[in-house]
């Protein structure tokens, strides 16, 4: 479902990644939620971890670990791969980011602090990534697994295609 041009998408709405919106407010809101969640759980939101999340929040797309590392090194945070990998691992462990396996990259979570079943919509042309809620998909998966006597511990669905802008450009 997409919102009409007069109604901007809501934060967390997958259409947000593919439509013009106040991205500064979008990123600031996500950063505030991350700070609150870390404070509530006692997780150490160090300056490098915070900066990595800020980098992931700059655009609605996934970033590879080495791209993150290059940006960190340019800003004086260090240039050893563990710097980026440890920060990305922390963010994924805290539910603040997700690994996008198809792209071998990471994206900020659109629903931090909420139990959800992410479905990633990945544009093959511009690599924009939208995180849609996949509750119905997860329910169907759990049902199929239960019929086989299997319990699903976790699942991520990655769908690829074209975002509305890239689809229009190709038309």
Comparing CA positions, the residue from 104, 29, 20, 24 lying closest to residue 67 is: 104
* Domains of the chain and any CATH numbers: 15-170 (1.10.10.10)
2 pLDDT exceeds 50? Answer: no
Q: Which residues contact 71 (CB under 8 A, 6 or more apart)?
A: 55
Using one digit for the tens of pLDDT, what is the confidence trace for 60-75? 789 999 999 999 999 9
Using one digit for the tens of pLDDT, what is the confidence trace for 102-158? 999 999 998 888 778 889 999 999 888 998 888 899 999 999 999 999 999 988 899
Check residues 169 and 133 and name the one with the higher pLDDT: 169
Using one digit for the tens of pLDDT, what is the confidence trace for 22-49? 778 888 888 999 999 999 999 999 999 9
pLDDT at 116: 80
| pTM of the predicted model as reported, rounded to 2 decimal places | 0.82
169 pLDDT exceeds 80? Answer: yes
Q: Which two tokens stand for residue 119?
A: 């479905």
pLDDT at 56: 95
Task: Decide the pairing of beta strands 157-161 and 118-123.
Answer: parallel
Check residues 94 and 1 and name the one with the higher pLDDT: 94
pLDDT at 84: 93
Q: Which two tokens stand for residue 146?
A: 């239960």
18 pLDDT exceeds 90? Answer: no
pLDDT at 72: 93
pLDDT at 5: 42
Comparing CA positions, the residue from 103, 33, 110 lying closest to residue 118 is: 110
Q: Which two tokens stand for residue 13?
A: 């709405």
Q: Which residues contact 108 (CB under 8 A, 6 or more apart)?
A: 30, 53, 56, 57, 91, 96, 97
């Amino acid at each position: 479902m997409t919102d009409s041009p007069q109604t901007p998408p809501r934060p967390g709405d997958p259409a947000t990644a593919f439509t013009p919106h106040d991205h500064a407010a979008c990123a600031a809101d996500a950063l505030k939620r991350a700070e609150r969640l870390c404070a509530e759980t006692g997780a150490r939101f160090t300056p490098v971890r915070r900066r990595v999340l800020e980098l992931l929040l700059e655009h609605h797309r996934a970033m590879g670990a080495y791209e993150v590392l290059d940006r960190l090194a340019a800003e004086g945070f260090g240039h050893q791969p563990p710097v980026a990998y440890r920060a990305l691992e922390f963010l994924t462990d805290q539910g603040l980011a997700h690994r996008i396996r198809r792209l071998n990259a990471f994206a900020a979570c659109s629903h931090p602090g909420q139990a959800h079943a992410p479905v990633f919509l990945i544009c093959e042309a511009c690599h924009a990534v939208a995180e849609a809620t996949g509750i119905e998909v997860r329910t169907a998966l759990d049902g199929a697994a239960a019929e086989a006597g299997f319990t699903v511990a976790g699942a991520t669905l990655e769908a690829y295609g074209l975002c509305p802008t890239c689809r229009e450009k190709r038309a």
